[in-house]
Amino acid sequence: QVQLQESGPGLVKPSGTLSLTCVVSGGSISSDFWWSWVRQPPGKGLEWIGEVYRGGITNYNPSLKNRVTISVDKSKNQFSLKLSSVTAADTAVYFCARADYRTFDYWGQGTLVTVSS
């Protein structure tokens, strides 16, 4: 059974960089899937942030593209998210997920990141 677990700081200062990691267990990050980040502001809907493939190929939400970097670390079986120049609007629960041809079949439990001074 594939499991994903997010980790990272729960509080980030405005204008800083949000950094999260998602560890994958029960499966290899080098398998034929895309590894994604999705976020959900408090009380609001889901927003796709972007994805990375095993070889490092990435796709990003155009609205966030200038601030987002998603990378994969095969040696640790994990992938990471960096979001720069954050504001209060980036406060959200951040989920990592596995995508099988644009279908998110496995999700992490989510981690709340608050942007505040």
Q: Shortest distance, CB of residue 10 to other proteins, whole angstroms?
A: 15
54: left (phi over 0), alpha (psi -120 to 50) or beta: alpha
Judged by CB, which is closer to other proteins: 88, or 112?
112
Judged by CB, which is closer to other proteins: 19, or 93?
93
Q: Shortest distance, CB of residue 105 to other proteins, whole angstroms?
A: 5
Name the site residues for other proteins (rule: CB under 8 A): 36, 45-48, 50-51, 59-62, 95, 99, 101-105, 107-110
Distance from C-alpha of 11 to C-alpha of 26, rounded to nearest angstrom: 29
Q: Shortest distance, CB of residue 110 to other proteins, whole angstroms?
A: 5
Judged by CB, which is closer to other proteins: 13, or 100?
100
Q: Give the CA count within 13 Å in the CB-facing half-sphere of 109.
A: 4
Q: How many CB atoms lie within 10 A of CB 51?
A: 23
- Could you give the 3-state DSSP secondary structure of residue 73? strand
